[in-house]
Structure 1
Amino acid sequence: MKNIIKYSIACALTLSMSACKKDWLDRQSQTLLVNEQVMNDPKLIVGLLANFYDRLPTDASLTSRWQQHTSYDDAVWSGGGNAGDEERNNIVQYATDRWRIYDYALIRDINLAIENMNAVGNRLTADQKLQFEAEFRFLRAYNYFEMVKRMGGVPIITTQLLIDDKGDVAGLRKPRNKEAEVYDFIASEIDAIKDVIGNTGSPTRANKYTALALKSRAMLYAGSLAKYNNQLPSPITLPGGEVGIPANRAADYYQKSLDASKEIINSGRYSLYNGNPNLGENFFEAITKKVGNPEVIFAQDFLQTKGRNHAFSYDNIARSIREDNLGSSAIAPTLNLVETYDFLNGDAGTLRNRTADNSDYIYYDNISDIFANKDARLYGTVIYPGTSFKGSPVQIQAGVMVWNAATNSYQTVEGNLGSIYGPPTFPNGDGGLLTGASGPQRSAQDVSNTGFYLRKYVDPAPQSSNRGRQSDMWWVRFRLGEIYLNAAEAAFELGNTPEALTYVNTLRKRAGFPDNSLTTLSIDKLISERRAELAFEDHRLWDLIRTRKATEVWNGSTTSTTANLYALYPYRIVRPGDAARHNKYVFVKLVAPRFRTPRFFQIQNYYMSIPQNAIDANPLIVRNPFH
């Protein structure tokens, strides 16, 4: 049916007895467009595509569900807001619909667009039709990937489902495809469209390499599921294959992922960003710089001049450098994440705050010294004590530790933000800084609870955290850094460790490590490298799910060092007469004070529950295991 609305209007006599114009009932709407108009105008088709791009799902981005970044182990919630946000620090267990996406509205709209264009797009050239159809199919494949990684196999629908003249819907009911079939469909769609999709060089519309990046990621996920799900004591499966990929498919999927990754890497179209000699700033720019950035393959962009902006920087700017903010500092990175970043000499990333025999603190001359010679990706991701943002120091100090000779111990003193340890509040104080203007503080809102602030994706532009102006920082969906890691993991799983090491070490070298800094690999090390490189880019959850490690890492134990989330509180030492300690800095590791409940990921969380209304409408849909 054509999308034409004709108005049935009863023309009433007015005082002047004017009559209705005879053509009123046949007048076309001035605000609604019919299919023929849309599907014969390339600009209108691009507008339709823009709508679909904006609807691409994600678990956590800059505009959609960004609070979810604090629901795992890379950050805790340090903002204000409602009780629902604070509950992110008290997740007793993850709900079985928490990451659910069953978006057949988007699938329907894409299918309808393809069919309408081919049916009525008579003024489009054959090349235009081919290119637009390829772009629609990419978006459909992307959405199927977002569904299958959450739900397992879902029905693959590629045409309109129309009710017959009798109103019988039985023929419209489709069963779930096998999990492997959905991944195979994604791969075949990419293969079919990659050479005709066009948009060469665009970072915001899909092109050949965007399509290959989707294949690189999706096939890596499929390979991981085929391997690691089958290594569980009781693999998660359904009799019809809707859940569970046979183990013998793993190598094929890993090879497809590796081939797609290498085609991108070897194309010369993209390169790792190396535009800033400061390695920490360079890594920050690799994700956030929008002009002349050769690393970004595909991003959701925003533009101030067009009124397309968002409040991510408003909500997450560090406390002491707020602009006109009422809130801030919501995402507080954890010590768990910070210690993921290795030292450049090859030592593990654990920060040294106590002597080897645990008899005393380690005393640092400068508050940033504990982080010296760390992986530069840490600086590009996290604001830690002793660093700056927007040209201003972010003052992070929890308090002072005052030596008591009588008890042979320290007394910890903490104060208000920006307070001084001196008269009149502290008559015997030395007049130095007590608590930094950015905390951390144990229970206050809108100030870090962990001793760290987010740097990645926070906009450094002036006034970008203002309520009125906000930010047009883009959200990166694919970049070359991920593709190197996808290639490394796929090569490793295929038994080619030397090739895998080449890819990983290339990224590590950009972060300041020497050549060939890694000589051995394991899946755990690869996942750790992904965590360091891709933090807050919506990968952590899915990496633990696809390798079936989520139940180990987030095991709900009160004694687990991975299920509990930690903070690092710096203190200035007040110990006059002891030159080796006075005015030095020490660091205390503690469970983040606002964090309440260990992360607990259960076996039923590996696949989300199918919506009950979908099951009610279609008896052919089977439930996922444990639901």
Structure 2
Amino acid sequence: MKKTSQMKKYIYAFVAIACLSFGQSCKKDSEFLDKQPTSTLSVEAIWKDPNLVLTVLGDLYDRYPDFQRIESWWLFADFDEGFASAGGDYFRHQNLEYGYDAWRYWDIEVYKLINNLNLFIKSGQEAAALKPADRDRFLAEARFIRAGVYFEMVKRMGGVPLITVPLEYDYSGNPGYLQYPRAKEAEIYDFVIAELEAVKTILPDDATEKSRATKAAALAMETRAALYAGSIAKYSNSQLSLPGGEVGISSTLANGYFTKALNAAKQIIDGGKYSLYQKNPNLSDNFAALFTDKGSNPEVIFAKDFKLKTNKVHGFTIDNQPRSSAEEAQGGRLNPSLNLVQSFEKLDNSYASLASVDAGGNPVYYTNITDIFAGRDARLAGTVILPGTQFKGKTVDIWAGYQLANGTIITGDNFGQMKDKVLPDNPASVQVVGKDGPVDGLEFSAQSGFYVRKYLDPATGSGQIGTRSDVWWIRYRYAEVLLNAAEAAFELGDLGAAAGYIKPVRDRAGLTTALTPAQITFDRIVHERKVEFAFEGQQLWDMKRWRLADKVWNGNNMSAADFTNATNIGSVTRTSTQVFGLWPYKYYNPGNANHLKYVFKVIKPSRVTAAHRFRIGNYYSSIAQDVLNGNPKIIRNPNQ
């Protein structure tokens, strides 16, 4: 039966409020996620009290879409950044092709969120009880969230129905007036950019606010969205377009988008309120701390926050802490790949394989297990826990066994195993594998030879089930603004400006020889984002917008030879379809000068059985059949 307008308001208020699960107070902006409502109120009553409006807004923020995120470690093993060292997730390395429905974001829940946002905006525009400044900020925040939802949709789906007013079915039996056609892909990007431009001066210009929309957050989303649109316009082709423009953006629009991306980035840079995080003189520790330090962090612009006191926490550290020193009997699930580790360049700005063998194919011997990683970009050890390094003050014990002089390997099949077998001329039982592995097929061991460090919480108790972690998930940070500006300037032909924007990011990583303007190439732009934003949820969208995904994840198998003395590490089209690892062994040859030194072997985990293939049809996710059936105005995406 038909619902009355008043009933609709009550239902909306109930849906928007009653589903919240936060704490006990929303007296301060910084605590706006901590309110637990206990009653259902009308929309009119809500819009008379800024605390109540903030509570409803908190629910809308909490529904802000992310794909890869700190709550779901396994999603970072879908491509080539990491190996999923968990039995139930080995399938991620056994899929030959990505499905056409992968990354789909177009269903009833998405448009329910959009409708809730449209209702919130309409109700706020009609409200007169609040102070105008309070009301305008709330409305600007809702428009910011709505822009974020449409941005998430367009980068997955292309053009979608653009709906900015609340919809209500009149139960007439004819839903035609609710059926919107798809907007052009460019129109969705234009809407996102225009909304962010409209609200940026209404939102507070407050660098201390991290979990609510600010002027800088709007500009950060604008520079990213405009950069995406410009890339799609420049690098797309006729295979990735539809006649009506629902998919594909004219190449003539590329420079206009790049100009908008650069201008938005420059407003943040020139504003002087944000800067790169540089609190720790140890550059690797400094980079790791950037993601966990929530006190006066000058780099973070917009983040999803978590709070121990309200039990709004996550288990990323429990799931991924080094297994040997874990606060619970679990961890080690996400193992960074050799593919990623080898991408971090040397401090002289050159690319090189990690030297496991010399030019003649002979093993290279290292006195210390960490020596093979010396002289590399500091972001490597800030992103990845390397063998022999520390977490929470404890040394991570990653080594795969003993290699004898004749090439025989003596190892174990469990963490830190003491085998009954003995080493030659040594009758005592000894530990023959690290307490963190690696052991092939043993879940939670460092099967790639590495553990993840980025976003691991160093606080005591963060690896315990009863405590967990409140480290935030950073959606926008200042380093991205600088790299967005560098990329946009490069695309506009200003190589000098591009070199200037990229320099402070590389300086922080210890790469003190600045790149000259002539050295700023597309390959350099791609590389810099790869190593700066690993495990931050940017890789897929970058590869898609540059139209590189089908070239890099091309379905071709790989071998160890691709990682020894490789010559194309910095190439944007370098194949990276299978996750490889690097295992350290202790060389056992008493009396030899290299006795008990370390040798390294490039390995492919046995659970990696197929090469990932990204097809042309994967650039835009397929539209579900029920959506097509329910709206005859919707046309399919190409190549599907």
TM-score normalised by length of structure 1:
0.91
Distance across 2 between alignment mates of 1:156 and 1:314: 41
Alignment-mate amino acid for residue 140 of structure 2 = A
Distance across 2 between alignment mates of 1:525 and 1:430: 54
Structure 1 residues 177, 422: CA separation in 2 closer, same or farther (over 3 Å shift)? closer
Partner of residue 34, structure 1: 42
Partner of residue 170, structure 1: 176
Superposed CA offset, 1:477-507 (max 9, x none): 0000111111111110110111111122211
Q: Percent identity?
A: 42
Secondary structure of the corresponding residue to residue 501 of structure 1: helix
- Correspondence for 2:345 among 342, 345, 352: 342
Secondary structure of the corresponding residue to residue 288 of structure 1: coil
Instruction: Map residues 133-148 of structure 1 onto 2, 5 A cutoff.
Output: 133-148=139-154
Distance across 2 between alignment mates of 1:597 and 1:587: 24
- Correspondence for 1:572 among 583, 586, 610: 586
Partner of residue 623, structure 2: 610
Alignment-mate amino acid for residue 412 of structure 1 = I
Distance across 2 between alignment mates of 1:566 and 1:67: 17
Distance across 1 between alignment mates of 2:105 and 2:224: 18
Instruction: Map residues 351-366 of structure 1 onto 2, 5 A cutoff.
Output: 351-358=354-361, 360-366=362-368
Partner of residue 394, structure 1: 396
Alignment-mate amino acid for residue 267 of structure 2 = E
8 Å contact kept, 1:508–1:517: no
Structure 1 residues 323, 165: CA separation in 2 closer, same or farther (over 3 Å shift)? closer
Distance across 1 between alignment mates of 2:331 and 2:171: 57
Structure 1 residues 518, 400: CA separation in 2 closer, same or farther (over 3 Å shift)? farther
Secondary structure of the corresponding residue to residue 483 of structure 2: helix
For structure 2, the residue ranges without an aligned partner over 5 or more in a row are 12-36, 560-574
8 Å contact kept, 1:449–1:593: no
Partner of residue 213, structure 1: 220
Distance across 2 between alignment mates of 1:168 and 1:585: 74
Superposed CA offset, 1:392-429 (max 9, x none): 000110111011xxxxx311111144547776655744
Structure 1 residues 221, 429: CA separation in 2 closer, same or farther (over 3 Å shift)? farther
Partner of residue 414, structure 1: 411
Distance across 1 between alignment mates of 2:585 and 2:293: 35
Structure 1 residues 543, 30: CA separation in 2 closer, same or farther (over 3 Å shift)? closer
Partner of residue 332, structure 1: 335
8 Å contact kept, 1:417–1:438: no
Partner of residue 467, structure 1: 465
Distance across 1 between alignment mates of 2:492 and 2:278: 30
Partner of residue 241, structure 1: 245
Q: Tell me whether 269-278 or 90-99 shows the greater mean CA deviation.
A: 90-99
**Structure 1 residue 226: deviation in Å?**
0.2
Distance across 1 between alignment mates of 2:625 and 2:427: 65
Instruction: Map residues 147-546 of structure 1 onto 2, 5 A cutoff.
Output: 147-164=153-170, 166-198=172-204, 200-201=206-207, 202-230=209-237, 234-325=238-329, 327-358=330-361, 360-403=362-405, 409-417=406-414, 419=416, 425-426=422-423, 428-429=425-426, 433-517=431-515, 519=517, 520-546=519-545
Superposed CA offset, 1:97-156 (max 9, x none): 11011211111110011112223x231122222111111000000000000000000111
1:586 and 2:599 aligned: yes
Structure 1 residues 71, 112: CA separation in 2 closer, same or farther (over 3 Å shift)? same
Distance across 2 between alignment mates of 1:608 and 1:445: 32
Partner of residue 77, structure 2: 70
8 Å contact kept, 1:334–1:452: yes
8 Å contact kept, 2:499–2:516: yes
8 Å contact kept, 1:422–1:429: no
Distance across 2 between alignment mates of 1:595 and 1:373: 30
Superposed CA offset, 1:55-84 (max 9, x none): 111111012x4311000000011024x3xx
Distance across 1 between alignment mates of 2:524 and 2:607: 30
Distance across 2 between alignment mates of 1:276 and 1:510: 11
Superposed CA offset, 1:154-202 (max 9, x none): 1110001233473432112111000000001111111111000226231
Count of residue pairs the alignment pairs up:
588
RMSD after superposition: 1.8
For structure 1, the residue ranges without an aligned partner over 5 or more in a row are 6-28, 404-408
Alignment-mate amino acid for residue 196 of structure 2 = I
Secondary structure of the corresponding residue to residue 569 of structure 1: strand
TM-score normalised by length of structure 2:
0.89
Alignment-mate amino acid for residue 483 of structure 1 = V
8 Å contact kept, 2:414–2:442: no
Distance across 2 between alignment mates of 1:534 and 1:516: 20
8 Å contact kept, 2:412–2:419: no
Distance across 2 between alignment mates of 1:422 and 1:616: 62
Distance across 2 between alignment mates of 1:386 and 1:419: 14
Q: Tell me whether 167-176 or 362-371 shows the greater mean CA deviation.
A: 167-176
Superposed CA offset, 1:458-477 (max 9, x none): 11111111111111110000
Distance across 2 between alignment mates of 1:512 and 1:182: 40
8 Å contact kept, 2:398–2:446: no
Higher Cα radius of gyration = 1
Structure 1 residues 465, 128: CA separation in 2 closer, same or farther (over 3 Å shift)? same
8 Å contact kept, 1:422–1:428: no
Structure 1 residues 104, 165: CA separation in 2 closer, same or farther (over 3 Å shift)? closer
8 Å contact kept, 2:383–2:453: yes
8 Å contact kept, 1:199–1:206: no
Distance across 2 between alignment mates of 1:344 and 1:424: 43
8 Å contact kept, 2:415–2:445: no
